[in-house]
Amino acid sequence: MDQLTTTPALYEAYKKRLQEIADIRYATALLQWDQETYMPAGSITTRSRQIATLSELAHARFTESVTGELLTNLLERKDLTEEQRSNLELSQYDYQQQVKLPSGFVRELSETISNSFNHWVEARKNNSFSLFAPWLEKLVTLKRKEAELMGYEHHPYDALLNQYERGCTTELLDQLFSRLKPALAELLAEIKQQPQVENRILKQHFQEDQQWAFSMDLLEKMGYNFHFGRQDKAAHPFTINFSSEDVRITTRVREEDISYMTWSTIHELGHALYELGLPNNQYGLPLGEAASLGIHESQSRLWENNIGRSLAWCTHFFPVLKSYFPQQLEPYGPEDLFRAINKVQPSLIRTEADELTYHFHIIIRYEVEKALVEGSLEVNAVPEFWKQRYQHYLGIDVPDDSNGCLQDVHWSHGSFGYFPTYSLGSIYAAQFYATLVKQVPKFEKLLQEGEFEIVKNWLSDNVYIHGRKYTSEELCRRITGKGIDPEDFMQYARDKYRFIYAYKLEGIIL
Ligand SMILES: [Zn+2]
């Protein structure tokens, strides 16, 4: 590479390279979207192959030495703009991370994952952990190797956490969870003393096509622009983007429970608004990407829980929902909806947990993963450990493996270190929400009136426009004046649930 090439010309070459790689990545994503929505089941083998080829192509192109040389050359230049420097530094970080994994290792991992996934599906169907155990064993071995290849300072699991949440460590999570656990346990004990809330309003027959129409209406009213997106049905709801001009979501419907679809749709809406709000002129570059998984999850949870499960939201949307289901909702009012959707009850399945007990599901998975990676827990002992932890934290008996340690897909995908980002997301969401409420006068009233644009604009100014410029911790400090701290989440939880369970009414903001 010619040292005499001008910086703008060289930066253009970098941009072109990254944008072409992004073209391949997003084309892959479109194949994945199709696979989860409309693809005929018979084409799964060919589709897996197509996706694998494109993924390998994108990875190979990015890790070519010419990328590294381009980045080193550019980063030595003094005439870069701040924005250019940010992009280049982040790309260099990505490059250095990705070249740590030899292609032989990447292939071995991806083949093991394909097999593990199939065995996990079988094991779950047959309710038998032992069918999955040999594959989990292989995955844990590979993940330990990966941790060694990536490098870490204190704990091998830190290297895996860092891949999903840059800078996240076991030390940070241990501290966070050691504060969250007793505070949550205390609140759950208080709630348990009170009469349980009623949720019959949700458990009626809600016709599928009417639910679908309601979800489309709701998305539009909450700020989703169908000119740049669409909603479809999928078994496991997700959000996927092909640029910030095409961000799609999926949902699923259960006719006997209106909440099953509704809050999942709002959750995905939160992810989608973030992707739609990322700077379009940074397509393919780090500044056009989300900050981290934890921040992504903060966006979905802020919309789903802080906004979507508030009394203000229920007040605004109850009449809308009633217009779709007049008969079912006739005997009820917004407060009934509000209480019903916030019922707290320890349960077996993570994805169906309320927002308080949810954290214990994550803490348990974190403890399992950390112990597996450091070697203090044998793979064969996972089901027993799982049962013992569910009894310890949630006071419930795990009847079998399918409802226990086989319930999540993550491990079969090789995703170790992913789960904690869900808890981080809730904690960041509470911190952002507390700041938003302070900064926007009469916020609750505006919410009741359906002024969701205000939330979107606030998030756009504070989160979306920065792309990946800041780490989660830096972004949190910029917005809230402090780093990650579970206290805002606990304050929000105490205020809300003491009100719902109606045993402490003072000092409540509705
Ligand atoms: Zn999510």
Q: How far is the CA of 421 from the centre of ligand 1 (A)?
A: 9
Q: How far is the CA of 194 from the centre of ligand 1 (A)?
A: 31
Distance CA 337, CA 340 (A): 5
pLDDT of residue 507: 47
508 and 499 in contact (C-beta within 8 Å)? yes
Distance CA 477, CA 484 (A): 8
pLDDT of residue 52: 85
Q: How far is the CA of 427 from the centre of ligand 1 (A)?
A: 14
Average pLDDT estimate for 50-59: 89
**H-run or E-run covering 242:** strand 239-243
Distance CA 91, CA 75 (A): 11
377 and 371 in contact (C-beta within 8 Å)? yes
Taken as a whole, the chain contains a residue count of: 510
Q: How far is the CA of 288 from the centre of ligand 1 (A)?
A: 19
Query: What one-character-per-residue DSSP string does 394-451 give?
Result: H-----SSTTTTTS-SGGGGT--S-THHHHHHHHHHHHHHHHHHHHSTTHHHHHHTT-
Least confident of 42-51, 158-167, 186-195, 304-313: 42-51
Q: What tens digit of pLDDT does each residue of 349-364 get?
A: 999 999 999 999 999 9
pLDDT of residue 2: 57
Residue 268 bears catalytic tag: yes
Distance CA 211, CA 209 (A): 5
The pair phi, psi for residue 337, each rounded to 5°, is: -65, -45
Distance CA 341, CA 257 (A): 11
The pair phi, psi for residue 279, each rounded to 5°, is: -60, 120
The pair phi, psi for residue 309, each rounded to 5°, is: -105, 25
Residue ranges of E strands in 73-157: none
pLDDT of residue 3: 61
Q: Which of 36, 64, 190, 268 is catalytic?
A: 268
320 and 449 in contact (C-beta within 8 Å)? no
Nearest to 355 by CA among 395, 300, 287, 400: 300
Residue 313 amino acid letter: W
Q: How far is the CA of 130 from the centre of ligand 1 (A)?
A: 30
pLDDT of residue 74: 97
248 strand-pairing partners = 240
**Residue 104: pLDDT above 60?**
yes
What is the pLDDT of the chain when averaged over all its residues? Answer: 95
Q: What tens digit of pLDDT does each residue of 121-179 get?
A: 999 999 999 999 999 999 999 999 999 999 999 999 999 999 999 999 999 999 999 99
> For the chain, what percent of residues have pLDDT higher than 90?
89
If phi over 0 gives left and psi between -120 and 50 gives alpha, with beta otherwise, what is residue 507? left
244 and 42 in contact (C-beta within 8 Å)? no
- For domain 100-510, the question of CATH label 3.40.190.10 is answered with no
282 and 87 in contact (C-beta within 8 Å)? yes
The three-state DSSP-derived secondary structure of 112-134 is HHHHHHHHHHHHHHCCCHHHHHH
**Residue 506: pLDDT above 60?**
no
**Residue 510: pLDDT above 90?**
no
What the block records as the tokens of 381 is 């002992």
Other beta carbons within 10 Å of 322: 17
Q: At a CB cut-off of 8 Å and minimum separation 6, what does 480 contact? A: 431, 432, 434, 435, 488
Nearest to 66 by CA among 24, 16, 106: 16
**Residue 18: pLDDT above 80?**
yes
Q: Where are the domains of the chain?
A: 100-510
**Residue 235: pLDDT above 90?**
no
**Residue 72: pLDDT above 50?**
yes
Distance CA 415, CA 257 (A): 30
Q: How far is the CA of 65 from the centre of ligand 1 (A)?
A: 35
- 446-478 burial string, b = 16+ CB within 10 Å, else e? bbbeebbeebbebbeebbbebbbbbbbbebbee
**Residue 4: pLDDT above 70?**
no
233 strand-pairing partners = 251
pLDDT of residue 400: 96
Distance CA 443, CA 509 (A): 11
Q: How far is the CA of 297 from the centre of ligand 1 (A)?
A: 5
277 and 459 in contact (C-beta within 8 Å)? yes
Q: How far is the CA of 161 from the centre of ligand 1 (A)?
A: 17
pLDDT band at 503 (very low <50, low <70, confident <90, very high): low
Q: What tens digit of pLDDT does each residue of 376-422 get?
A: 999 999 999 999 999 999 999 999 999 999 999 999 999 999 999 99
Least confident of 39-53, 217-231, 301-315, 377-391: 39-53
240 strand-pairing partners = 248
Distance CA 460, CA 447 (A): 17
What the block records as the tokens of 60 is 């190979």
Residue whose tokens read 């402090």: 482
Helix then strand count (H, E) for the chain reads 21, 3
pLDDT of residue 115: 86
Distance CA 353, CA 172 (A): 24
